[in-house]
Every structure is written in structure tokens, then in C-alpha cells.
């Protein structure tokens, strides 16, 4: 059977299951696959995490080093987020410079952290206008079995919670925990026929016309959003997804509790 | 401009607009000789040129799709388009914008009519004010129509933002710099959202209002797009969309 | 009909017209298409211009910012000229890093400005050896309908005439006009059979064996020259082109009068 | 750690090992869902993930070999794997390591079975201690077996070094920083060397001893690799190598 | 050298040459084993190696031309060829020089004899003095003949400049640094100009004289090229150009 | 005949010759082709050499300029070695960024110089922590007829022996010879059947399953080693190669004597 035919069969299967209120792996529409969050998995990093959502697996490392602030924000730390879709993680990833999917994932992860004010950047000034902390968030995807966005975002925030500012290493005093203000959480949904499914599996993600990721903060307000893919969503669908994303984020946020 | 104390004074924004007002917008279709279709757009301080080439052959061949045309979209900022000179060539921001803009337009193009070919959309931001990505989509949509590419309908786009705690339509650069949320939206004539990004801070309630405001803004822009095409062609060449639908059904 | 056959027909047509003293668009051999020059078209730039020669259209923006001088010229401003053949401007241009045609156009434009001493670079020193003005001349081609060289060169000098040194923006006093010494003008010719045609249209340029661009200053002296293309020119042909280019440059220079 | 006065005290290395002891080693085969074969290895402070894809189609086609599969190997360090953040992407060091690692493994893969196809080996160094290249080869070898790629045998690798003038097995990071020689060796089950690099300072006599020590180390690692595969498959799936040969003939 | 007061003293240039004298020039044909043709040239302080490969197959195939060979030219400066170390790899200057040099030679190669193939010309500037591009063309022309590529004739090149207000042949580095014009010219044996660039400042009258001086210089260089080929082949293998033409007709 | 068939015939020929104790060019197994070493061939470089081994030919230039030291070695000069396989040197080399073969050759050459302590880097400090000498060793391959490794390595050390520290140019006093401690020499061997051949010719190198390069210092100790290629070597073969490489290095080292 050609790949196109297989894709067609998978699509029909997923759509007809959804029409009956069902999913291929038996989950409810708003149910995530099992989630595990470990921290401190990379000793060489200032903070790190390994997050699994089902078989999807990412490792996030946070490195910090002093650097120059931007001229217009002389007292503010700098966040640099990078994400690598290394070819180890999927038969469809390729070696070479990051492509648009990797860049989109990195930038949405970055905006989630940045726009929610998760990191208190004002406390990351070392010497005004001269030296501030650069926070490098590097997301390394190891196994892509769907919904990388939520895994990357969850991994980033878990690694940040695990991060110690390495003052000792740079002769700047004692190490202290990275000052955090908030815990933004990304929830991604797809629409399949008239069904809205959370945490799309790889197959579901592939057949869905588009995805919507909603990032909410502790108080349930939106900090970021990204539609990805060619399909459309009605305004009502978007409003519905925003609503359930903000509820579901609280459930995911529990996975991060107690982490440090 | 350094940060002003207030961005809204007596219900008016600093450039004199009300919350629902858009900046001046001027579309001109068919302004380039070589491109198959083109559109020059001034949208507030944005100056945007869009051109369309295609359907045309795809190189290298392994990028061809046997059952439909591929759509390519390049959003590019001129070096002199922004306050501090930008290095030429794509950066991460423009790669992301190119991706979501392509996705915003691809669904309305009847790609199945041109298997193995490419439809190339090039958007040059000659001067950037806030909202250059939505300006680019608006101009590209008109350029596609000008190129005679069969489409189900036009796509229209606008951004909504929040300043001084209020949700307002179409931020200018100063409002964008000192505002607290930005929500670029694109919509087709069926009322379906084709681009939706957001950053900043919005409550669920504010988001709902912002989205409704964007939908209204897109409808106004659609009228301007249609007029620009009538101006060039002497008749309405936009596709005949029987009955625009105001949102679909969900499993709410 | 194949592209080769069409090209052959066009070639024959243009050559036989020229043999009769004629051109496809009815112009005289030394006649330019209509030229328009606007300045101040980009508010964000320190100077800008839009030049049209027939349907050929370029926008040039000049940006200035302080930077380090070259070690061997500590008191001299720096010119950096760039030209982008963006794929919007022609079906034959491609995305990606600039190719040899774009580089050649940029470098010839640059040499024209530089070698004529058009900009008084000695007045662009801010602090000797430390800080001088960098003048970025960016040529953005919008529509390529032939003779880009002359359009780029004319656009560059028009944008420079329009440029204000942005002293205010960098706390260096009042804005002043960019100090200019000269107004170099490029004139491009082709030979078609035994005819020498100025301002080649797209088709003329494509069928001509080569082009010769001659850049002359206000006094009619040469400031630059570039043969481009595989064909040859006799010494006498070159001398003839130099002669008429210097005359024609005066006509083009009138388009720049009054501009500021 | 700043340079210690001595790296060997009373015959023990600073981490308590004797000269012939390796650091703790733990292989786990088959840990990734998407890859055709995989192996996670902790080797001292090294944390290494290896994955294998293939045999699969080669793009672009001109890279195909009509008579055999091509083997590709990518050694890549995660940005956070080392003390000072590494820029993502290949550098000259990783390109050289990828080349010699590929050559260390290529000979044992039965490439002639899969003409025109590629066998891709990807090694991610998640945390680097000394010896990450040999760790990568060890993990890659198990991942190849886990992917069911037909092989003549496994390849095992270890480094030998010199500290305080003594030749010792498997340097850790501090020993590597302050030691005076490093000799990474890979060996197949026939006792043939498939990777051999060296830098530093060794007399001919020291080199001889170091090489013998590496051969012994490789044999121990081979046992651990075999066990990891038995653990996953419940049986010994490593190829049956009739009689490992202890060095060949030369024209000495 | 810092700027001298005068560059011409008593009618002599600082290196003792008169206005019409060229620097010492030595061509050696056929100096490389692997290349199909080669030439080593010392031209004043320039040390230039040129090699030619081809006609040979073109990869990737879409670059082939069905009716003729394509000519490729790479002008490359060794890192150590100039005062301040040059980063390896092409820069904008070398890309432009490669283009105009290729165009200077392409017309004399009988490309129509080898459809779908490539003729590759590689020029390495091992030491650069002023005039490295014309030196490269001169050496490349001999290397093409040495490779047995059918040509209509050789191409010869030289630069003319202006120092102390005088037009002189073949500037050296100091003259180039402190001179006021540079005019590199290449010419075929029919007296036709195949490369013509100029920067600096020349009146129309000066330009006319400079061009005539370049034509004379090219003729002298052509003799040296021919001799170098005779030295290698024991006979004159340069194409038999019936009657070199001294300029064509124009519509003056 | 196809290339594969030719390659097969060459292989058989070289292997059967070797089985009879012979080589195609009549050399003994441990005999090098004629070697020539010239220095001072590039006036613009601080030191330079041209090395030929048979028809294989490389030019090495050494450039020196002041630069910043690495933070962890503030008093130590810096070596940067680069090697270009320019397409002029072989029909199989291509334009573009250096590929793995060029990188391997450069890195092995670099390690030979570095690990043998050939250059006394401690004498290349200009101002502690601020400025040290950067030594750029650039190997330019002109003709690749086999055994580039030994030619590159020999060329590098010859050029270093020829190098003057350019103090005058940077106002730091008189020029002095580059301080050298040792003269590392690379010897490359292949095994063909049961024969170990030194200095493989192009054809020999192409048919050999792998190469082993052994770099030894003046005292005969090893400073570097690199196996390159897919084939294997037994431990005894390696020990034998180490032994003869260290002997043969003395012969090659004679070629460097008196050079300065």
C-alpha cells in the first residue's frame, strides 16, 4: 500500500472514532497520555529536566553565563531559547540547520516563558548596562511521538524550576535558585471533524488540519497562543479551546509541584 | 518615543483613533511588471509590496507534489525597513512568520488544480510599523487574486492588542512597544480563522472580546481588498462566497 | 515553442531592428526610457529613494550608525553597499544568499560612489580611531525590466542626496545633510550588431553579448567602468561608449537636481 | 577542579579506581519508540543516546551506492552537555569524530545486503565526560544490533591514557585534563582494531602496554553490550563469532 | 611602505621601471600532475597557480547545458597570500573577480564541441601583489591550452593605472595603494577586449591612452604565453589566428 | 571499462605485487618517494614552505598576529591550523566548505604540532591575559598524488622552522625566530594483504583498506596517531607500524635540518 493510502486509512479511522466520541488509544477527548517529569538529569547544566508525554520525550538543559544586556534593557537578564529536532528523534527529521518547525517550536516555547514573566529577569542584573545573566534554554527532542509543543514547554519550565544561578562558578557569591514568578503551561488541541482533542498523538497530529496551542499562567490568563497548520478554526472553536486549555493547564501544573 | 504615561486619553488613542479604529489603509493591485500578480499596501506606517509568481515549475523536482500545487511564502524585511538596520536575509522571526502566513493563505488557494507546480508568494516589508505580518497577508491575498490564481475566497488579517488595560484594534508601533498583548488574526470569507497567534497577557474574557473585534476588523479590510481589485479590473473579481458562515459547530 | 526558439526569434528581431537604426520600443539608440526619481519614501531610513527607469524599479535606503573605523583610515567614515535581487522582482531571481550578479551590481554601485569621492568621508569621523559613521547603502530591487545597474546607481546617489546624518538619534548634536562632493552617474550600453544602444531593455540586455557600464563624475571624468557578460568590445567601441556615456550622464544628472 | 598535585595516590586514582578499572557502565537497549534501534548508555559521567534508522532510502539519489548500503554517523553534543554551553550544530571536532566513528563501525555492518540504501546512526551526547566518542561507538553498536541490522559482530571501544607517568584504563574528565596522553581504541570481536587515535606523549613501550590494556577493556565492554541485548531480547542476539582472532600476521 | 612623496622620479618609477615597462613575468606550463592542464605564473610579486579540469561531467545535472560546455572559474586567494591573513573561502571580491574572469575567457573556448560538460578553471593566488586578477587570467589561458581545450585563441591581460598624474602600465602594490586609477584589461588575439574594469579617476583622454597602453601590454604578454607553451611542447600549439583585427567598426 | 572494473584491476595488481614484495613504482615497502622541502617561498607569510613527496605538493604559510588568549591559558600563544583541499589539486576535490577529509587532515596536523610541544607557546605571550601571538598554519594542497598527511605535516613543521615572529610589524621590537622545541614528523603506512607499505601513492592509498599515521618526536616517542578508513589493523600490525614509523621519522627529519 502506498503511503498516501495508509495516510488516508488512518485519517478515516481517527475521524470516525472521534465521531463516536472515541480515540485510537482509548483516551477521553481532553485526556493527556501519561506524563512524567524528572529534573536534575544533566549535572553539567544549571538546571535540567526530562519530560515524557506518552512516548514523546524531551530533555531540556538550562545554562547560565554572564553576558551583555541589550542596550534598551540594561538591567534585565536575557533569555535565549533553542530547540533541536535532532534526526535521532524521528525518521522525518533531518540533519542541518533548524527548519521552520524547530524554529516555531522554539519561538513559541520562548514566548510562553517570556510573556508570562515566568523568570524574574529584573533580578538577573549583575552590573547595570554591563553584565547580566544570559539564560540559555536548550530543548533537545529525543523521541517524537506527537505533541512536541506541550512537552517542550513543560520541559522548559521544569528545567527552569530546577535551575540554580551559578554565582559560585563566576565568583559572584552563593548559588541561589533562579527567581521565578509564574509557571506557564502549554496545552495543545486539534479539531477532528467536530471533536476537539487535547494532547494529539503522532497519528492524530498528522491527520488533523491544524493545531492550536494555548499557554496560560497560574491565574488562568493567556500568555501565548499559536495556531499551526493549514486548517481553519472557527472563533467559537478557538474560544472553546482557550477555555478547556486553561482548565487542563492546572492539571499539568500539578506535575511541576514540588520540583526544584 | 519614550514610554508615555497613558496610551489612551479621554477614550482616544495617542494618534487620535478610537478603540475600534484602524490606521489608514491603501491597497493598490497590479503595480509590478514582472510578477504575475502584485499589490502595494500602505497600512499605517507599514509599506508592503507583495508579488505572486505561478503556477510554475518546481525545482528541485523532489519538492513537487503529485496531486497539488505547493504554496511557498517568503516574508522579508528590507534592511532599511526598521529603526536599526537589519542584516539582509532570513532570521528566525521571518522564518516563523513566513510559515504561519503561508498556512494562513494556503487553505483558500485551489491547489488541486495545479499538480506538480508551485505558487510563490513574496512579501517585502519596505517599511515596518506594528502589524507587518498581517499587512503582508492582506497584500499577498490581493496579489494572489491579481495573479489570477483560483481561490475559494480572499483572506483578511488584522491584529488586536491591549493598551492601558483596554482591548483595541490595530496597534501602532508605540502602542505595540508599550502595550501588554498582541493578537494577530487572519480570517477567510467563511468566517474561519486561518492565522491565530498571541503573546502578552489577556484574560479569557478579554480574549473573547479581542477575537470578536478582530473578526470585525477583517471584514472591513476585506471590503478594501475587494475595492482595490475592482479599481484595477473595473469589476468585482473576488470569488463569490455564497453565505459567509459565522463560526462552526463544536463539541462544546 | 521552446524557450530557446523564442530567444532566437527575439535576438533576430532586436538585431535586425538595430541594423535599421530602430529599437523595439521606438527609442533612439542613445535614449533612455522614462526616468522617475522620488526621495524620502522610507521614513525609517536616514535617506531613501525610489527610482524607475521604464518599468525597472528599485528602492534604496541609506542607514547610518556609529561604528569602528578601519585601522588604516582612523578618521574616515565607512561605506557598505548591499544589493538584494529579491525573488519578488523577477521570475529568474531566487531566494538565498546573494549570487554573483547581485554582488557585481552592489560592488559596481559601491565603487561608483566610493571612487568618485561622492561622500566626503573625512567629515564622517566622530572620534578619531574610535568611532566614525558607517553609511549603509541598501539597494532593494522591486521590478527588473532591464538595466538594473543604472537604476541602482542613480537610486544610490539620490538616496545619499536625501540623507541626513542622524546626530540627534545618537546624542551628537543636530541632524545635518550628508556631506557630498560629487554626483557620479552610471550609463550602461550594449552593442547589438554594429549599433551601440544605451539603457538596454530587459530583452535587449538578454540578447546582447555584453554590457559596458561607465560611471562619470560631474566634470565628465571616469570614476568607474565594468564590462559584464561573455561578449567582446573593440577598443574603439569602448572609447565611443565612454564618450557618449559622459554626455548622457549630464542628462541623467538633471533628474537629481533639486533633490535633498 | 584545579590541577591536583597527584592523580594517583597509593596505587589508587582519585576516584578510587585502580589502573585497570573502568568507570561504572550501564547499557539499556531499545529505549526509543520512533528509532528502529536505540541504546542509552551511562559510561562514567557520559550520558549517551544512540539511535539507528534503516536500512532506508537515500536522498539525494546520487549519494546511493549501487552495490551496498552506505553508513552515516552523526556524533552530536547537546548544548548543555559540557561545562560551557556549546553552540548547537556540528563543529570541526564533531565532524572528525563522526568520520572515525563511522569507519570504526562500518566494517562490521553487512552493507552488501542492502544496496542503494542508508543505515543512519545518530549519537547524542547528553552529558560529556572524558571518552564520549568511545561511549558513542559502544552505544551505537548496541543500537545497530537492536535495529536488527545484520552485523558480523559487535564493536567495543575504550580509551587508555597516561597520568602521573602511568598508563591507566578509561580516563575520567579530571584525568583527561591533567593527564599526558589519550588513546581511544575500538575493536571488533575478531580482535581487530577499527578505531585508533592518539595524542599526547607515549614511548613505544608505553604504547604497547596501553594498546594491550585497551584490548582487555574492549573485551569487558563487549560482555556488557551482550548482556544489555540479552536483557532486552531474553537471548543472546549478538552474532556468533566462531573464534575471535588475537591479532593477524604481519611482515614483521 | 608609507606614502612616498613621489611615485615617479626623473621619469622612473620607484622600482626603476619606465611608464611602459611591465614587472618580470615568468610562465611555466604543465606543472601539476593531477590537473588536465596547469600553469604556474610569477608576475611581479604575484605567484599564481592555474589548473584546468575537463571537459568533464557536470553535477548536479540541472546545471548541464544541452548545446555546449559550461565554463566555471574559481579565483581563490590562499590565506597567507596577503599582508593580513585572509579567512579561507570565497568573499564578495573573489566572487566578482571569478565572474568577470570567466567572462573574459569563455568566449575563446569552443564550448559547442562539448555539450553537457564542464570546463573547470581553478586559479589559486599563492601570493598577491597588485594585478592578481589579470595574472590569474593569463595563467588560466595557458592552462586551458595545456589541457588541450580547443580555443579560438589565447587571452592576455594586464592592468594600467595612474600614478602622480601619469598613465603607466602594470602597477605594483605600492603604486596601486597610492595611485589614483586602476584599469584591468583582457584581450583576445583578435584585438577584442574581453575584460574591462576601471576604478579611480581618469579623464576621457587619459582613458584612451590607458586603453591603448593595455592593448600593447597584452600583446607582449601573449608572446610570453606562446613561448611558455613552446617550451613545454617543443612547438607552437597556440591557435592560428589568421589576422588579428585592431578594433571593429562602430556606429560612431 | 567502468570505473569499478578499473579499480578492481588496480587493487589486484597492487595486492599481488605486494605479495611478491614489490610496488608499482619499484619502491621498497618502507621507502618514500623523492622528497623536496623548500622554505621562504611566500614573502607575505611569516614563514612558508613548499613540500613535494613524489608528485604530491603542498604549500604551507604561517601567519602571526596578536590576539586574545583563551581564558584558561592567559599566558599561552594560540595555534590555529587549517587545510584546504582546493579543487585545483584533484579531480575529486570540490569547492565549498571543508569536508571531513580536509578537517581530519588539518586536525591531525594540528595535534602533531600541538601535542609534541613543537612550538614553545609559553614564549608567545605579549601581555598576560590580554594579548598573545596567534599562529595560523595554513596548508594549501596543490597536487594530490597520495599521502597528503605526511606532506601536510612535514610542510607545517618546515614552515614553522622558517617563521619569524613579526615583532617589527606590530611595534613589539625586533623580529626573532619562532621558538621551537621539537620537530614532530608524521609517517603514514597502509597494509596491503600482509604487507605494510610506507608513503602510499595515490593508487595504493585508494585500494588500501585503511591508513595509519604515526607522529613521533625527536626522541622517538609518539605524539599522535590516527587510523583513517574503514579497514582494520591487528594490534601487532599497529605495534609494527609504530616501530618503523619512529625509525623512518629520523630519515624524514634530516630533510628539515639546516632549514630556517
Pairwise CA distance, residues D42 & D135, whole Å = 8
Return the DSSP state at E108: T
Q: Rounded to the nearest 5 degrees, what angle is found at the Cα of D106, between the Cα atoms of D104 and D112?
A: 160
Residue F45, domain CATH: 3.30.230.70
Q: Do D199 and F230 touch (CB under 8 A)?
A: no
Q: Give me the pLDDT at residue A1, please.
A: 54
Q: Give me the pLDDT at residue C1, please.
A: 54
Q: Give me the pLDDT at residue E242, please.
A: 54
Q: Give me the pLDDT at residue B248, please.
A: 38
CA-derived radius of gyration, chain A = 19
Instruction: Give the pLDDT band of residue D248 (cuts 50, 70, 90).
Output: very low
Q: Do E80 and F63 touch (CB under 8 A)?
A: yes
**Contact E/C (≥3 CB pairs under 8 Å):** yes
- Show residues of chain D in contact with A57, CB under 8 Å: 32
Q: Does F132 reside within a domain? A: yes
Calculate mean pLDDT across residues D114-125.
96
- Show residues of chain F in contact with E80, CB under 8 Å: 42, 44-45, 48, 61-63, 136, 138, 140
Q: Per DSSP, what are the bridge partners of residue E199?
A: C224, E182
Pairwise CA distance, residues E110 & E107, whole Å = 8
Element holding B224 (H helix, E strand): helix B204-233
Pairwise CA distance, residues C223 & C215, whole Å = 5
Task: List the grid coordinates of B251.
Answer: 463539541
DSSP string over B86-120: PPSS--HHHHHHHHHHHHHHHTTB-GGGSTTEEEE
Three-state secondary structure of chain A:
CCHHHHHHHHHHHHHHHHHCCCCCCCCCCCCCCCEEEEECCCCCCCEEEEEEECCEEEEEEEEEEEECCCCCCCCCCEEEEEEECCHHHCCCCCCCCCCHHHHHHHHHHHHHHHHCCCECHHHHEEECCCEEEEEEEEEEEEECCCCHHHHHHHHHHHHHHCCEECCHHHCCCCCEECCECCCCEEEEEEEECCEEEECCCHHHHHHCCCEEEEEECCCCCEEEEEEECCCCECHHHHHHHHHHHHHHHHHHHHCCCCCC
Percentage of chain F beyond pLDDT 90 is 93
The minimum CA-CA distance between A34 and chain B, rounded to whole Å, is 24
What CATH number should be reported for the domain whose range is D21-234? 3.30.230.70
Q: Give me the pLDDT at residue B250, please.
A: 39
Q: Does F166 reside within a domain? A: yes
Domain of residue F106: give its range: 30-254
Q: Does A243 reside within a domain? A: yes
Instruction: Give the pLDDT band of residue B4 (cuts 50, 70, 90).
Output: confident
Calculate mean pLDDT across residues C42-59.
98
Q: Rounded to the nearest 5 degrees, what angle is found at the Cα of B75, between the Cα atoms of B69 and B77?
A: 160
Q: Give me the pLDDT at residue B120, please.
A: 97
- Show residues of chain A in contact with D78, CB under 8 Å: 42, 59, 61, 84, 138, 140
Q: Give me the pLDDT at residue B239, please.
A: 75
pLDDT of residue B132 exceeding 90: yes
Measured CA distances, B149 to B141, B224, B233, E81 (Å): 10, 19, 15, 54
Instruction: Give the pLDDT band of residue D3 (cuts 50, 70, 90).
Output: confident
What distance lies between CA D194 and its chain's CA centroid? Answer: 10
Q: How many CB pairs under 8 A join A and B?
A: 115
Percentage of chain B beyond pLDDT 70 is 94
Q: Give me the pLDDT at residue E115, please.
A: 94
Q: Give me the pLDDT at residue B252, please.
A: 36
Q: Give me the pLDDT at residue D6, please.
A: 92
Contacts of D84 (CB under 8 A, 6+ apart): A63, A65
Instruction: Give the pLDDT band of residue B62 (cuts 50, 70, 90).
Output: confident
Q: Do D193 and F234 touch (CB under 8 A)?
A: yes
Contacts of D10 (CB under 8 A, 6+ apart): none
Element holding B12 (H helix, E strand): strand B12-13
Q: Give me the pLDDT at residue D251, please.
A: 39
Q: Does A34 touch chain D (CB under 8 A)?
A: no
Q: What is the pTM of this model?
A: 0.95
Calculate mean pLDDT across residues C166-185.
95
Q: Give me the pLDDT at residue A188, please.
A: 98
- Show residues of chain E in contact with F86, CB under 8 Å: 76, 122, 124
Count other C-beta atoms under 10 Å from residue D216's C-beta.
Answer: 13
Q: Do C222 and E198 touch (CB under 8 A)?
A: yes
Calculate mean pLDDT across residues D146-163.
97
Q: Does C9 reside within a domain? A: no
Element holding B49 (H helix, E strand): strand B46-57
Q: Do E93 and C227 touch (CB under 8 A)?
A: no
Percentage of chain C beyond pLDDT 90 is 93
Nearest to D225 by CA among D146, D126, D109: D146
Q: Give me the pLDDT at residue F96, please.
A: 85
Q: Rounded to the nearest 5 degrees, what angle is found at the Cα of C156, between the Cα atoms of C150 and C159?
A: 135
pLDDT tens profile D184-216: 999 999 999 999 999 999 999 999 999 999 999
Pick among A227, A228, A231 to test the B interface (most B CBs inside 10 A)? A227
Pairwise CA distance, residues E64 & E53, whole Å = 16
Nearest to B224 by CA among B41, B86, B61: B41
Q: Does F23 reside within a domain? A: no
Q: Give me the pLDDT at residue B251, please.
A: 38
CA torsion angle for D10, D12, D18, D23 (degrees, to 10)? 180
Write the residue in F95, F98, F143 that is nearest to E34 by C-beta: F143
Q: Rounded to the nearest 5 degrees, what angle is found at the Cα of F35, between the Cα atoms of F29 and F40?
A: 155
Q: Does residue B201 contact residue A115 with C-beta atoms inside 8 Å?
A: yes
Q: Give me the pLDDT at residue A196, please.
A: 97
Q: Does F10 reside within a domain? A: no
What distance lies between CA B85 and its chain's CA centroid? Answer: 24
Write the residue in B193, B195, B203 that is nearest to A235 by C-beta: B193
pLDDT tens profile F1-15: 567 787 889 999 999
- Show residues of chain E in contact with F106, CB under 8 Å: none
Write the residue in D96, D193, D202 that is nearest to F238 by C-beta: D193
Q: Give me the pLDDT at residue F258, please.
A: 86
Q: Do B247 and A236 touch (CB under 8 A)?
A: yes
Instruction: Give the pLDDT band of residue B63 (cuts 50, 70, 90).
Output: confident
The minimum CA-CA distance between A56 and chain B, rounded to whole Å, is 23
Q: Does F249 reside within a domain? A: yes
Q: Give me the pLDDT at residue D61, please.
A: 78
What is the tally of structural domains in chain C? Answer: 1
Mean pLDDT of chain D: 93
Q: Where are the alpha helices (DSSP H) in chain E?
A: 92-106, 132-146, 173-178, 204-233
Pairwise CA distance, residues A147 & F2, whole Å = 51
Q: Residue B148, preceding bond cis, omega within 30 degrees?
A: no
pLDDT tens profile F80-130: 999 999 999 999 998 888 899 999 999 999 999 999 999 999 999 999 999
Pairwise CA distance, residues E159 & C101, whole Å = 23
Q: Could you give the ipTM of this predicted complex?
A: 0.95
Spans of chain E, pLDDT less than 50: 243-252
Spans of chain A, pLDDT less than 50: none
pLDDT tens profile D18-58: 999 999 999 999 999 999 999 999 999 999 999 999 999 98
Where residue A76 falls (left for φ over 0; alpha for ψ -120 to 50; beta otherwise) is beta
Q: Do A87 and D89 touch (CB under 8 A)?
A: no
Q: Does F3 touch chain E (CB under 8 A)?
A: no
Burial of F11 (0-12, 13-18, 19+ CB in 10 A): middle
Q: Do B98 and A115 touch (CB under 8 A)?
A: no
Q: Do D250 and F237 touch (CB under 8 A)?
A: yes
Three-state secondary structure of chain D:
CCCCCCCEECCEECCCCCCCCCCCEEEEECCCCCCCEEEEEEECCEEEEEEEEEEEECCCHHHCCCCCCEEEEEEEECCCCCCCCCCCCCCHHHHHHHHHHHHHHHCCECHHHCCCEEEEEEEEEEECCCCHHHHHHHHHHHHHHHCCCCECCCEEEEEEEEECCEEEECCCHHHHHHCCEEEEEEEECCCCEEEEEEEEEECHHHHHHHHHHHHHHHHHHHHHHHHHHHHHHCCCCCCCCCCCCCCCCCCC
Amino acid at each position: 500500500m502506498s503511503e498516501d493510502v495508509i495516510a488516508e486509512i488512518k485519517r478515516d479511522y481517527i475521524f470516525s472514532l472521534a465521531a463516536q466520541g472515541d480515540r485510537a488509544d482509548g483516551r477521553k477527548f481532553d485526556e493527556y497520555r501519561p506524563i512524567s517529569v524528572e529534573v536534575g538529569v544533566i549535572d553539567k547544566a544549571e538546571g535540567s529536566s526530562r519530560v515524557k508525554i506518552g512516548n514523546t520525550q524531551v530533555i531540556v538543559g538550562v545554562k547560565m553565563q554572564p553576558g551583555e544586556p541589550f542596550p534598551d534593557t540594561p538591567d534585565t537578564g536575557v533569555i535565549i531559547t533553542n530547540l533541536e529536532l535532532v534526526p535521532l528523534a524521528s525518521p522525518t527529521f533531518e540533519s542541518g540547520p533548524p527548519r521552520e518547525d524547530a524554529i516555531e517550536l522554539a519561538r513559541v516555547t520562548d514566548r510562553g516563558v517570556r510573556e508570562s514573566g515566568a523568570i524574574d529577569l529584573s533580578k538577573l542584573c549583575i552590573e547595570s548596562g554591563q553584565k547580566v545573566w544570559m539564560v540559555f534554554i536548550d530543548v533537545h527532542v529525543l523521541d517524537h511521538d506527537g505533541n512536541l509543543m506541550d512537552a517542550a514547554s513543560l520541559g522548559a519550565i521544569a528545567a527552569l524550576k530546577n535551575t540554580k544561578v551559578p554565582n559560585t562558578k563566576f565568583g559572584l557569591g552563593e548559588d541561589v535558585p533562579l527567581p521565578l514568578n509564574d509557571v506557564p503551561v502549554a496545552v495543545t488541541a486539534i479539531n477532528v471533524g467536530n471533536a476537539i482533542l487535547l494532547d494529539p498523538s503522532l497519528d492524530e497530529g498528522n491527520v488533523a488540519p491544524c493545531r492550536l496551542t494555548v499557554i496560560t499562567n497560574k491565574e488562568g490568563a493567556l500568555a501565548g497562543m499559536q495556531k499551526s497548520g493549514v486548517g481553519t478554526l472557527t472563533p467559537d472553536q478557538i474560544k472553546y479551546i482557550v477555555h478547556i486549555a486553561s482548565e487542563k493547564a492546572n492539571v499539568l501544573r500539578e506535575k511541576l509541584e514540588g520540583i526544584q | 518615543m519614550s514610554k508615555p504615561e497613558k496610551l489612551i486619553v479621554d477614550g482616544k488613542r495617542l494618534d487620535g483613533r478610537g478603540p475600534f479604529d484602524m490606521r489608514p489603509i491603501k491597497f493598490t493591485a497590479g503595480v509590478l511588471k514582472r510578477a504575475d500578480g502584485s499589490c502595494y499596501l500602505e497600512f499605517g506606517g507599514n509599506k508592503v509590496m507583495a508579488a505572486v509568481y505561478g503556477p510554475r515549475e518546481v525545482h528541485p523536482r523532489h519538492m513537487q507534489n503529485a496531486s497539488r500545487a505547493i504554496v511557498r511564502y517568503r516574508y522579508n524585511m528590507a534592511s532599511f525597513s526598521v529603526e536599526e538596520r537589519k542584516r539582509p536575509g532570513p532570521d528566525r522571526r521571518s522564518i516563523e512568520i513566513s510559515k504561519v502566513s503561508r498556512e494562513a493563505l494556503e487553505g483558500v488557494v485551489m491547489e488541486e488544480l495545479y499538480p506538480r507546480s508551485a505558487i510563490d508568494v513574496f512579501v517585502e516589508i519596505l517599511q515596518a510599523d506594528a502589524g507587518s505580518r498581517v499587512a503582508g497577508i492582506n497584500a499577498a491575498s490581493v496579489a494572489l487574486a491579481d495573479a489570477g490564481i483560483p481561490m475559494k475566497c480572499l483572506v483578511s488579517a488584522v491584529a488586536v492588542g491591549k493598551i492601558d488595560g483596554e482591548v483595541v484594534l490595530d496597534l501602532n508601533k508605540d502602542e505595540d512597544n508599550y502595550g501588554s498583548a498582541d493578537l494577530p488574526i487572519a480570517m477567510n470569507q467563511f468566517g474561519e480563522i486561518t492565522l491565530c497567534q498571541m503573546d502578552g497577557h489577556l484574560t479569557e474574557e478579554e480574549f473573547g472580546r479581542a477575537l470578536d473585534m478582530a473578526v470585525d476588523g477583517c471584514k472591513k479590510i476585506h471590503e478594501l481588498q475587494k475595492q482595490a481589485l475592482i479599481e484595477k479590473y473595473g469589476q468585482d473579481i473576488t470569488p463569490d462566497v455564497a453565505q459567509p458562515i459565522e463560526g462552526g459547530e463544536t463539541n462544546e
